[in-house]
Amino acid sequence: MSTSRENKVLLNALKLFVTVTVMSLIMVVRAQAAVICLDPGHGGVGTSGAGALYPPYMEKQLNFAVASQVKSELEAAGHTVYMTRNGDVSLGLDQRAAYANSVNADVLISIHFNSSGAHDKFGSEVWSSMFGGHRNVGYGLGNSVLSQLTGLGFASKGVKTKLGQSGDYYGVIRHGVSFGIPTIIIEHCFMDNPIDRAIMESKGLTSLAHADAVGITNYINSVGGVIPKADPVIFAEGSTGVGGAAAAASDPFKTKYGFPKDASGNVTYTDASGGREVFTAAEWNKLLGLWNYTGDPEAFLKQQSASVLRGLVNQ
């Protein structure tokens, strides 16, 4: 009888120990949980917000599919995750950052795929802010994600920064850091390059999403579960705060490659074969928007035929 009673005491003590241990582990997991805002890049009806286009792929669709799967994995790991869009809708870059701020996000991660005019570029790259603590988070988080993407077979192009006329060049990063939210852009691969496309198709989007989720989680764990805070970065229009005042804001209908533009902003486009189309200012701006994420949209426009550009405008 005494032995039986002692066994019960030991069993109850063991149960209590297991319960306390499990609760402690849960508290640790919760303490390491972050608030993450995922931004599926682009979006909107038809091709106007498609992002990169390379049949049968529309970038906006790839972005949304990957972001949705990343969200599921991160939530399963205990993080709180929001998405800037939950359908095929158009959002301004400032709106995306403002939403991340409204949910008190610790970090804003914009999901993208790349393309190039000659289809000869390849590899994965991450864009980060170049300022202060935002740069530190961007480099740490970006390299953690890239280490997972290279494990799938993609070449790493590294974590990059680019200076614009009013701070960081890329709008979602610039607006994100203005709220004090570290922000990065993940460019998974060049979907129009045969090498990258073969990896993407053989591994599947689920594998790319898993790579993102593991990279994000590994980074959060590496900083003790708390993504470092960074001060807001805001510059006056036309001034980067680096090297003095920058040039005045560029003309949104710029024609640096010599496309003739009249006083109303109408652009006459002539392709390499002599095909010619005249685009209104609004039409030209729409075309620039399709490749604006590259930082040099006209470099991509000038490689298209006039008829293809007209078709894109008319869709």
- pLDDT value at residue 281: 83
Separation CA 54–CA 59 (nearest Å): 8
Q: Indicate the angle between helix axes 59-76 and 205-222, nearest 10 degrees.
A: 50
The amino acid at 13: A
Q: Indicate the angle between helix axes 205-222 and 194-203, nearest 10 degrees.
A: 90
Separation CA 197–CA 220 (nearest Å): 30
Separation CA 229–CA 226 (nearest Å): 9
**Does residue 146 sit in helix, strand or coil?**
helix
Name the token pair of 43.
Answer: 């979006």
Q: What pLDDT tens digit does each residue of the chain (315 aa) get?
A: 455 555 554 555 555 454 444 443 443 344 368 999 999 999 998 887 899 989 999 999 999 999 999 999 999 999 999 999 999 999 999 999 999 999 999 999 999 999 998 899 999 999 999 888 999 999 999 999 999 999 999 999 999 998 877 789 999 999 999 999 999 999 999 999 999 999 999 999 999 999 999 999 999 999 999 999 888 887 755 544 443 333 333 343 445 556 777 777 788 888 777 788 998 888 888 887 776 655 667 776 777 788 888 888 886
Residues 239-289: tens digit of each pLDDT: 444 433 333 333 434 455 567 777 777 888 887 777 889 988 888 888 877
Q: What is the pTM of this model?
A: 0.69
The closest alpha carbon to 305, from 287, 281, 282, 280, belongs to: 287
Classify burial at 127, counting beta carbons within 10 Å of its beta carbon; exposed 0-12, middle 13-18, buried 19 or more.
Answer: buried
Separation CA 91–CA 109 (nearest Å): 15
What are the chain's domains?
33-222 (3.40.630.40), 267-314 (no CATH)
- Asked, as a colleague might, if the bond just before 56 is cis with ω within 30 of 0, I would say yes
Separation CA 246–CA 27 (nearest Å): 49
- pLDDT value at residue 24: 38
